[in-house]
Chain A
Amino acid sequence: MTDMSLPQTRGRSRAGRIALRWLLYVILGLFALYYLMPLFVMVTTSLKSLEEIRTGDLMSLPRDVTFDAWATAWSGACTGIQCEGVRPFFWNSVLIAVPAVLLSTLIGALNGYVVAQWRFRGANLIFAAMLFGCFIPFQVVLLPMARLLGLMGIAGTIPGLIFVHVIYGLGFTTLFFRNYYVTIPSELTKAAKVDGAGFFRIFWSIFLPLSLPIIVVTIIWQFTQIWNDFLFGVSFSQAGTQPITVALNNIVNSTTGVKEYNVDMATAIIAALPTLLVYVVAGKYFIRGLTAGSVKG
């Protein structure tokens, strides 16, 4: 991969090639700097005291590092009249995201397996319809979904939010798994059928064990989507079941005279930390999995 990053430089002098490579590094470095700047500001600001923020420079490093803002963000910041920090909301998000990610991945795998390996009349139509689900703006479904959740008796609950995330995640998860499974030769399914394995046995014993790269991709994708979701979180939750994104918004918006930038920054970083962690841990597989289906072999 690394030797692909340079354009064709045949015929150039050695010095010219080195200059070109340095130019490339400078450009890439500038981009990296540009992307990292906001993170830098957030981290440094969250470690400063309010006093220092007011008097100092936005870009300067903190003179006295203090974790007070982090402590406040975690367990003392006010959302409206309640001052418990983001901790309860953080756990709400975990309770929503973990089951929703696992369920939507599993069901997506099963869907993809059916659409790719058990061709039936209308399979393409159903797959196209599911694909269409990826492009529906979620604002459109808010009202009907609110009604449905009410009818099901799970409006405003965490299971309700899990339900919504699973439904709207299926379009993407099905697409991922379908595209991965169409590259697996159908003779494998046929051989297993002759060997006496049934529909679910083939899925569990043959397809799932082959799916690690695409499972990782799907989990990262779904976790990012669900953890970062604000629209469904703010629409379908009530006091006690709100996810962290809603809490972040409320903390930033409920001010008592002074704007506590350091607390806001700390809260935002806490809110972003789990997705960041998932990328660091599984990012390697993410790239591999995304390209796995496209190249044969």
Chain B
Amino acid sequence: MGQIQLSKVTKKFGDLTVIPPLDLQIEDGEFVVFVGPSGCGKSTLLRLIAGLEDVSGGQVLIDGQDATMVPPARRGLAMVFQSYALYPHMSVRKNIAFPLRMAKMDQAEQDRRVTQAAEVLNLTDYLERRPGQLSGGQRQRVAIGRAIVREPQAFLFDEPLSNLDAALRVGMRLEISELHKRLATTMIYVTHDQVEAMTMADKIVVLQAGRIEQVGSPLELYRTPRNTFVAGFIGSPKMNLLSGAQAEKHGAHTIGIRPEHLLISTESGEWEGTVGVSEHLGSDTFFHVNCPGFADPLTVRASGEMDLKYKSRVFLTPDPAHLHRFDAQGLRVE
């Protein structure tokens, strides 16, 4: 079981409140991603759950038990760090076995679990090497191995892929998702990368300045962002957010329209503009279109075949069914 509940959890550093009272429920077996810009308190929140930081107020419940005062090792959680945090002087085998040795598990069981974890993570050939002799991806797998062998209630990942290059990141992303499917253990994953959040999560928690902006499945957040922050944060490229005259026409303070919900045409449409930068991804093309009277260029997604010259005249038409409307406080208006 790995159900985690935060109840009015607060964190202050001196006079600075990093996390105002916050409630959150994480169900057993869920893959939850904390996402937000840097400094939003997502890593702090993870460390509060791990017990590496003491809460300033509120409670952390693990499987219904109050774990607020329980030391990190006894919470039944395992953590994977951004810098891997492998013990440099120990072999891969000893690194993975370290938590088991700390728990004074008998040697045969230790060996069995290390061997099994090494098989799962393709590390069998590297067990006698030191971390310094491994590549970034292998080190990350060792760190995950060290977490797996403990058979924890939940895994905590603190930006585990940030130090890897782009290609490796995609590979490890799949491996972690695969691992979650196989183990069906609760995982809490912190990242600032909304693509990681969208692709991996069962449930995304969007944080800003220590507050939860929205909790929901990736598609819920994508389709019905609760406010302009979530609307702008989730989705790549970003949602176009417009305020002023255009928004007032739709009876809102701000309107949002995603790049794929703008129809681009060279003949006619609601808004007229000129093409700025085009980004060709092969499958899609993103045009940045400057429309007179709009503060920022609009991003439009078109098919990969479409090719428009710089400065050419185009017309855009928003799909009214996918228009998001927000009030003066930035909250969603239905």
CB of B73 within 8 A of CB of A190, answer no
CB of A190 within 8 A of CB of B81, answer yes
B42 interface hit (Cβ, 8 Å): no
B79 interface hit (Cβ, 8 Å): yes
CB of A210 within 8 A of CB of B102, answer no
Q: Which of B83-91, B176-184, B256-264, B306-314 contacts A (4 or more CB under 8 A)?
A: B83-91
CB of B85 within 8 A of CB of A191, answer yes
Given known contacts A194-B52, A194-B73, A209-B89, A201 and B83 CB-to-CB distance under 8 angstroms: no
A185 interface hit (Cβ, 8 Å): yes
CB of A185 within 8 A of CB of B85, answer yes
Least distance between B14 CB and chain A CB atoms (Å)? 10
- Indicate with 1 or 0, residue by residue over A185-221, a CB within 8 angstroms of chain B CB atoms: 1011011111111000100011001100000000000
Option from A187, A197, A205 in Cβ contact (under 8 Å) with B81: A187
Taken together as a complex, chains A and B put the C-alpha atoms of A28 and B42 apart, in Å, by: 58
B275 interface hit (Cβ, 8 Å): no
State how many residues of chain A have any CB contact under 8 Å with chain B.
16
Option from A188, A201, A210 in Cβ contact (under 8 Å) with B85: A188
Chain B residues within an 8 Å CB radius of A185:
83, 85
B98 interface hit (Cβ, 8 Å): yes
- Indicate with 1 or 0, residue by residue over B239-253, a CB within 8 angstroms of chain A CB atoms: 000000000000000
Q: Which of A192, A195, A205 is packed against the most chain B CB atoms within 10 Å?
A: A195
Given known contacts A187-B81, A190-B52, A195 and B89 CB-to-CB distance under 8 angstroms: no
CB of B89 within 8 A of CB of A190, answer no
> Which B residues between 67 and 106 are near A, CB-CB below 8 angstroms?
71-74, 77-79, 81-83, 85, 87-89, 98-99, 102-103
B146 interface hit (Cβ, 8 Å): yes
CB of B89 within 8 A of CB of A210, answer yes
Q: How many residues of B sit at the interface, in one of the four size bands?
A: 20 to 34
Option from A187, A194, A209 in Cβ contact (under 8 Å) with B77: A194
CB of A206 within 8 A of CB of B87, answer yes
Least distance between B20 CB and chain A CB atoms (Å)? 23
Chain A residues within an 8 Å CB radius of B98:
192, 195, 197
B50 interface hit (Cβ, 8 Å): yes
Option from A193, A201, A206, A209 in Cβ contact (under 8 Å) with B52: A193
- Indicate with 1 or 0, residue by residue over B115-142, a CB within 8 angstroms of chain A CB atoms: 0000000000000000000000000000
Taken together as a complex, chains A and B put the C-alpha atoms of A201 and B87 apart, in Å, by: 13
> Which B residues between 52 and 71 are near A, CB-CB below 8 angstroms?
52, 71
Chain B minimum-CB-distance residue to A193: B72
Least distance between A288 CB and chain B CB atoms (Å)? 16
CB of B88 within 8 A of CB of A187, answer no
Option from A188, A194, A206 in Cβ contact (under 8 Å) with B50: A194
Taken together as a complex, chains A and B put the C-alpha atoms of A294 and B213 apart, in Å, by: 43
Measured CB to CB, the residues of A under 8 A from B are: 185, 187-188, 190-197, 201, 205-206, 209-210
A190-B50, A190-B52 given; name 10 further pairs at CB < 8 Å. A190-B85, A193-B52, A193-B71, A193-B72, A194-B51, A194-B72, A194-B78, A195-B102, A206-B89, A209-B89
